[in-house]
Amino acid sequence: MTLPWFIAGAALAVALVAWRQARQTAKRLAQLSEMYWELKYQQGELRVRLQRVEGEPPSSPSQAAPGQPGESFVPLTSLKR
């Protein structure tokens, strides 16, 4: 009679540990995703600044090689308006 209670208690403990680990992993994934998009935004800003410093006209998607998708940079300040 005691053995099933021990098994149930051990299963509950393992489930709680797994649940805690899953929550930590989800939090870390959200953090990494936010960091990725922030870096992507900063890289776009730096590319535009570099083009301005070098005096190159900003590249447009129509100038991209055919078959390659064009990228466009939209500053976050324009999205907040």
* pLDDT for the residue numbered 63: 55
* pLDDT for the residue numbered 1: 82
- What is the dihedral sign for C-alpha 10, 13, 17, 22? positive
For residue 13, name the pLDDT band (cuts at 50, 70, 90).
Answer: very high
Segment 12-21 shows an average pLDDT of 98
Segment 62-66 shows an average pLDDT of 54
Residue predicted with more confidence, 44 or 68:
44
**Which residue, 6, 79, 67, 9, is CA-closest to 37?**
79
Specify the pTM. 0.55
Residue with tokens 């149930």: 8
